[in-house]
Structure 1
Amino acid sequence: MGRAKYIISAVLGSFAVAYVSDVLVADKKIFGGTTPKTVSSEEWWEETDKKCQAWPRTAGPPVVMNPISRQNFIVKSKTEA
């Protein structure tokens, strides 16, 4: 049990260092730069989604590009199968 406390504390410490580094680099922009418009603009996301949904389909029924984000999947119970 003696080694476990060192391993656990080292893992927790590495998570803390990774989190602080992420905040400093990504959020505080310590190396400069700005957040791209493609990430920060809701309008851009909407237009991109429209483009993805407008792609022509060559086979099968129409589908959405990302069904998980749209929550349009159907979970069937075992009795229906």
Structure 2
Amino acid sequence: MAKIVASAIGAIVLAFSLDYIVSDRKLFGGKTPRTMCKEWQEETEKMKTAWPRTAGPPVVLNPITRQNFIVKSRDS
């Protein structure tokens, strides 16, 4: 049992470190797009909150990140 747990932890650590080296440290080259800066992300958030709605009640474009969605009961 200990061998299985140790191998699973080792595989997770190996996968994480390889993903970090290849993706974040750009092992095979490439560059980060200019849209990955803080200013661009702030402007995108402003756009998402100011998005006009004409067909129905206001909704949030991404309720998972904003955590303000409405949960209805089964009766209604």
Offset at 1:66? 3.4
Offset at 1:67? 4.3
Q: Does 1:52 align with 2:65?
A: no
Taking only aligned residues, the RMSD between alpha carbons, in angstroms, comes to: 2.3
Task: Give unpaired runs (5+ residues) of structure 2.
Answer: 71-76
Q: Does 1:32 align with 2:56?
A: no
- 2:67 and 2:56 map into 1 onto residues whose CA distance is 23
- 1:20 and 1:68 map into 2 onto residues whose CA distance is 27
Q: TM-score, normalised by structure 1?
A: 0.64
Q: TM-score, normalised by structure 2?
A: 0.67
How many residues end up aligned between the 2 structures?
69
Instruction: Kindly report structure 1 stretches of 4+ aligned residues shifted beyond 6 Å.
Output: none
Which deviates more, 29-38 or 62-71?
A: 62-71
- Percent of pairs identical after alignment? 49
- 2:28 and 2:67 map into 1 onto residues whose CA distance is 38
Q: For 1:20, which of 8, 17, 21 is the aligned residue? A: 17
AA paired with 2:22? V
Offset at 1:59? 0.7
